[in-house]
């Protein structure tokens, strides 16, 4: 199966074929196939998988105008497609794994000019440091502090439990009122100490 026509519209690209899976083009000119919406029955599973692979092959062999990369988003239950997606051409489609979540995987293949410019998957976000800090203090001590300032950030590497990724620790200035309540399931101790004692 091949695309009979490609219709490019701002932000979207449609395969004009009655049995094609409709992808979309993002603002970075990357074409996305979201296969998590495809729910084949046991009877037609093999046919559906073959159609998916044929359509991806058609796109990769005949690169649409301005298309930099092709993305495929799979459910974990669709992992049987991985060998044929990730094997290098001509045996497969040449996709590589970008990131995985508990119930899904995302793969891509670079089609644009020059070197691969797809960034690595983000491992952490720090935009909500203040809210996260207030929530953690409340959950672990029962206090409802007021956030004042971010005093510093430290990056730690080589921690076995983080699977080779960095851990970012934030030192926050909070205003506290009241006395902390020790939450045994969270902390062994939660005394309030002076900054001079803490820094010794």
In whole angstroms, give the CA distance from residue 12 to residue 6: 10
Residue 177 CB: number of other CB atoms within 10 A?
8
Q: What is the pTM of this model?
A: 0.55
Is the CB of residue 165 less than 8 Å from the CB of residue 123?
Answer: yes
pLDDT values of the chain reduced to their tens digit, one per residue, 200 residues: 333 333 333 333 334 333 446 788 888 888 888 887 766 544 556 677 777 788 888 878 777 778 889 999 988 888 888 998 999 988 888 999 998 888 889 999 998 888 898 888 766 656 567 888 888 888 877 788 888 988 888 887 776 656 567 777 888 888 877 676 666 666 666 677 777 777 76
- List domains and CATH numbers for the chain: 6-110 (3.40.630.30), 129-199 (no CATH)
Nearest CA among 134, 166, 171, 165 for reference residue 153: 171
Cis peptide before 22 (omega within 30 of 0): no
């Amino acid at each position: 199966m091949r695309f009979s026509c490609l219709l490019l519209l701002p932000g979207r690209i449609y395969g004009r074929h009655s049995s094609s899976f409709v992808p979309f083009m993002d603002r970075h000119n990357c074409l996305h196939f979201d296969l998590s919406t495809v729910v084949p029955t046991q009877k037609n599973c093999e046919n559906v998988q073959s159609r998916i692979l044929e359509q991806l092959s058609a796109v990769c062999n005949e690169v649409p105008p301005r298309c930099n990369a092709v993305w495929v988003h799979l459910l974990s239950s669709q992992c049987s497609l991985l060998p044929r997606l990730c094997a290098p051409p001509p045996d497969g489609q040449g996709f590589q794994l970008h990131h995985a979540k508990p119930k899904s995987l995302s793969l891509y293949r670079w089609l644009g000019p020059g070197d691969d410019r797809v960034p690595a998957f983000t491992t952490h976000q720090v935009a909500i440091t203040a809210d996260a800090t207030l929530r953690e203090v409340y959950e672990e001590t029962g206090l409802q502090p007021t956030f004042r300032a971010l005093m510093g950030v430290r990056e730690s590497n080589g921690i076995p439990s983080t699977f080779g990724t960095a851990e970012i620790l934030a030192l926050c200035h909070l205003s506290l009122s009241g006395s902390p309540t020790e939450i045994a399931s969270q902390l062994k101790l939660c005394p309030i100490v002076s900054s001079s004692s803490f820094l010794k």
